[in-house]
Chain A
Amino acid sequence: MWNYDKKLEYPVKIKNKDLNMAKFLVTQYGGPDGELGAAIRYLNQRYTMPTGKTKGLLTDIGTEELAHVEIICAMVYQLLKGATPDELKAAGLGGNYAQHDNSPFPTDANGVPWTATYIATLGNPIADLHEDLAAEQKAKITYEHLIDLTDDYDVKDVLKFLWAREVIHYQRFGEALVDVYDLLDKKKYY
């Protein structure tokens, strides 16, 4: 099971409303390379991992990704805080207001809703860990694009933290892949 820790993994203290940035940033909530997809991807893949180590790693990175979902939602919430329907409409978020008011909702930057087709599980640890390595690279690049789209220090600071976590997860998945290859090699008899 999971418990809730009543704090963010990293502080989010955004002072300035920025509706355009909220619209871009929401892709890291519900977009193809977002944190929700990452969490579900890893937590779903853990059942067919071959070792205690890989089951642990997928559980723990999947859990950390849930904390990143919360960070992105906190950022979107703070960026949208106090926005009027007219302001939302001007920023291209009139559709969001119509359907969700000022609530965050898991879509990509163009409003396309999150879908399970963003995740993959082959049930094969080699294929799944390669998927995970690619996913971390794609998320890292998306954070770089988002950092290019804002000048707000408060936003950039959190995005840099999340960027760095993608790098670490990539590293850990790479180590796990090497370990699984070693395990499979040991099982071969000639």
Chain B
Amino acid sequence: MEKTYNDLSKKELMTKIHQLKFAAIDLNLYLDNFPDNKRALDDYNTVTAKLTSAIDIYEAKYGPQTNFGGSQSKYPWQWVDEPWPWEIGE
């Protein structure tokens, strides 16, 4: 049976998020030109639902991924936790 997002290691979960985010970006650009393509839209919505659930699990375990109201933080303010993306390279 495939592992649920909750069972993945931090690294595996981030890889999954990278993959889903990339699919969302690429489908988003395509849909900008072809908004009435139902298959692409279904794919976009499926990917987005999976991405949201993967990010929710990641943030609950490791802290906020987006600023300005994107996600709640535990105490103390976790947004400033290191490493930052260019340091860890992911």
Q: Which residues of A contact B33 (CB under 8 A)?
A: 53, 57, 172, 175-176, 179
> In residues 17-45 of chain B, which contact A (Cβ within 8 Å)?
17-18, 21-22, 25-26, 28-30, 32-35
User: Contact check: which of B17, B32, B68 meets A7 at CB < 8 Å?
Assistant: B17
Q: Are A73 and B86 in touch, CB under 8 angstroms?
A: yes
Q: Are A6 and B18 in touch, CB under 8 angstroms?
A: no
| Size of the chain A interface, CB-CB below 8 angstroms | 30
Q: Are B30 and A9 in touch, CB under 8 angstroms?
A: no
| Size of the chain B interface, CB-CB below 8 angstroms | 27
Main secondary structure of the interface of A (DSSP, over half): helix
Task: Give the distance to chain A from B14, nearest Cβ to Cβ, in Å.
Answer: 7
| Contact A74/B64 with A60-B29, A176-B33 known, Cβ cut-off 8 Å | no
A-B contact count (CB 8 A): 80
With both beta carbons as reference points, the residue of chain A lying nearest to B31 in the complex is identified as A56
> In this assembly, does B76 line the interface, its C-beta being within 8 Å of a C-beta of chain A?
no
Q: Which residues of A contact B25 (CB under 8 A)?
A: 9, 60, 64
> In this assembly, does B65 line the interface, its C-beta being within 8 Å of a C-beta of chain A?
yes
Q: Are B89 and A78 in touch, CB under 8 angstroms?
A: yes
Q: Which residues of B contact A7 (CB under 8 A)?
A: 14, 17-18, 21, 65, 85, 90
Chain A interface (Cβ < 8 Å from any Cβ of B):
1, 3-14, 53, 56-57, 60-61, 64, 70, 73-74, 77-78, 168-169, 172, 175-176, 179
